[in-house]
């Protein structure tokens, strides 16, 4: 069977190799013929040598989807032909994580999704919503799980206001899921064209942060000086202080990204005076993905895909992720 490997920390070090066909799955395992994969920022960080503890060469990309083609003994609730998303946190099935459960990850410490046939534990896969394509299913594991957990942590629903920074994969899933939960959504971008697209997806208000450098003040204006219940903080140091200012008393800053770095000098007073909750995130469990999948099925949400690449164009997909400017998710079709 075929796979893509990353030989060293460089976007130029991706190559296709031949591997032995996988054996019959062991007890509790399934073999999945991979159909599509999608990129997340963690994949780029890993490929550029910016993520610690990665041993190369390795088959990259955390998120993927495919069809079950073989089932080991002891597996229940699944059958050959089922279309599934594979959760990248192979050991984190449900509940609170341990360090091992949170940090053991496909495409980082385990072989990832750019492979023809993956052998995984059956408990780490989630049946896909029937209306989704292979490409759409592949976008879900990290981005949809993270977005769902952010909204759940804030108990976002009717009467809640959610602020989303940027129009990447997690933010767009959060927009779609927040509207399905009945929440009001404000979203930011430097592009009016992207903000128009976000509006068509249901965003209630949009803020161009080039036109409003003090975008936190604009968010306060849009909320009558109250602030938002939840900020999905994707950028890091360059935006964090303004995120605090945009949040209402006792609100939640759900921190998921480090696009502008990881080092931050912070004034604690806004957190203390406003009794804010700052929460980190390391994606979530298989059970969390299952909940997000149920919501996506019920609301018939269509994941937003900016561009789909062939497996031969994997390097181009990574470069688009590195360049930015995309809207939603970047997908690789595994058309070997």
Give per-residue pLDDT as tens, 159-214. Answer: 999 999 999 999 999 999 999 999 999 999 999 999 999 999 999 999 999 999 99
Residues 53 and 170 in one domain: no
pLDDT classification of 237: cutoffs 50, 70, 90: confident
Residue 288 is assigned to a structural domain of this protein = no
Q: Is residue 287 part of a domain?
A: no
Alpha helices (H) in 120-182, listed in sequence order: 134-138, 140-153, 169-180
- Give the pLDDT score at 258: 65
Residues 222 and 249 in one domain: yes
Domain assignment of residue 292, yes or no: no
Above 90 in pLDDT, residue 266? no
- Note whether 322 and 44 are within 8 A (CB): yes
Which residues does 71 contact at the CB level (< 8 Å), separation at least 6? Answer: 25, 30, 31, 78, 79, 80, 122
Q: What pLDDT, on a 0 to 100 scale, did the predictor assign at position 97?
A: 92
Q: Which domain holds residue 84?
A: 2-139+303-333
Residue 260: pLDDT band by 50, 70, 90 thresholds? low
272 with 316, same domain: the answer is no
Quick: pLDDT tens for 281-299. 999 999 999 999 999 999 9
The confidence score (pLDDT) of residue 257 equals 74
Percent of the chain with pLDDT over 70: 99
Same domain, 131 and 209: no
Q: Indicate if the pLDDT at residue 22 is higher than 90.
A: yes
Question: Do residues 176 and 98 share a domain?
Answer: no
Structural domain tally of the chain?
2
Contact 276, 252 (CB under 8 A): yes
Distance of alpha carbon 212 from alpha carbon 206, whole angstroms: 11
Q: Answer yes or no: is 115 within a domain.
A: yes
* pLDDT digits 0-9 by tens, 45-102: 999 998 888 999 999 999 999 999 999 999 999 999 999 999 999 999 999 999 999 9
**3-class secondary structure, 6:** strand
Task: Kindly state whether residues 25 and 56 are assigned to the same domain.
Answer: yes
pLDDT, position 29: 98
Same domain as 199, residue 129: no
Answer whether residue 289 is part of any domain.
no
- How is residue 115 annotated by DSSP? B
Exposure string over 82-98, b if 16+ CB within 10 A, otherwise e:
bbbbbbbbbbbeeeebe
Q: What average pLDDT does range 145-150 have in this prediction?
A: 98
Q: What is the mean pLDDT of residues 116-121?
A: 98
In a shared domain, residues 46 and 149: no
What residues have CB less than 8 Å from 139, skipping those under 6 apart?
Answer: 38, 63, 169, 173, 303, 305, 328, 329, 331
Q: Is residue 293 part of a domain?
A: no
* pLDDT > 70? residue 261: no
Regarding whether 55 and 11 lie in a shared domain, the answer is yes
CATH number of the domain within which 237 lies: 3.40.50.720
Q: Is the pLDDT of residue 269 over 70?
A: yes
* pLDDT attached to residue 259: 64
Residues 86 and 169 in one domain: no
pTM: 0.94
Mean pLDDT score of the chain: 96
Residue 262 has pLDDT above 80, yes or no: no
Same domain, 34 and 102: yes
Q: Do 131 and 167 share a domain, yes or no?
A: no
For residue 124, give both structure tokens. 């780490």
In a domain, residue 296? The reply is: no
Q: Tokens for 333, please give them.
A: 């079709």
State residue 23's pLDDT score: 92
Instruction: For residue 16, tell me if it sits in a domain.
Output: yes
DSSP at 195: H
CATH code of the domain in which 134 resides: 3.90.180.10
């Amino acid at each position: 069977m075929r796979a893509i490997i990353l030989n060293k920390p460089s976007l130029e070090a991706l190559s296709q190799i031949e591997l032995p066909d996988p054996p019959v799955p062991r007890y509790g395992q399934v073999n999945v013929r991979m159909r599509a994969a999608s990129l997340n920022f963690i994949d780029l960080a890993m490929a550029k040598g910016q993520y610690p503890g990665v041993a190369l060469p390795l088959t990259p990309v955390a998120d993927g989807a495919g069809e079950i083609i073989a089932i080991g003994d002891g597996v229940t609730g699944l059958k050959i032909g089922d279309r599934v998303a594979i959760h990248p946190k192979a050991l984190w099935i449900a509940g609170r994580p341990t360090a091992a459960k949170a940090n053991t990850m496909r495409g980082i410490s385990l072989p990832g999704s750019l492979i023809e046939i993956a052998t995984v534990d059956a408990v780490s896969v989630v049946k896909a919503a029937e209306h989704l394509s292979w490409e759409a299913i592949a976008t879900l594991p990290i981005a949809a799980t993270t977005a769902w957990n952010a909204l759940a942590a804030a108990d976002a629903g009717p009467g809640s206001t959610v602020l989303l920074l940027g129009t990447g994969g997690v933010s767009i899933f959060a927009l779609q899921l927040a509207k399905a939960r009945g929440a009001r959504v404000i979203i930011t971008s430097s592009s009016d064209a992207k903000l128009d697209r976000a509006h068509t997806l249901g965003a209630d208000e949009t803020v161009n942060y080039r036109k409003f450098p003090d975008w936190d003040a604009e968010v306060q204006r849009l909320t009558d000086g109250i602030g938002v219940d939840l900020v999905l903080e994707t950028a890091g140091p360059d935006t964090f202080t303004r995120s605090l200012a945009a949040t209402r008393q006792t609100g939640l800053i759900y921190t998921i990204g480090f696009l502008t770095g990881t080092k931050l000098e912070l004034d604690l007073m806004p957190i203390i005076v406003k009794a804010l909750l700052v929460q980190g995130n390391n994606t979530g469990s298989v059970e969390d993905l299952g909940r997000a999948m149920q919501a996506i099925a019920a609301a018939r949400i269509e994941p937003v895909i900016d561009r789909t690449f062939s497996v031969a164009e994997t390097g181009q997909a990574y470069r688009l992720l590195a360049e930015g400017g995309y809207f939603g998710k970047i997908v690789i079709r595994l058309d070997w």
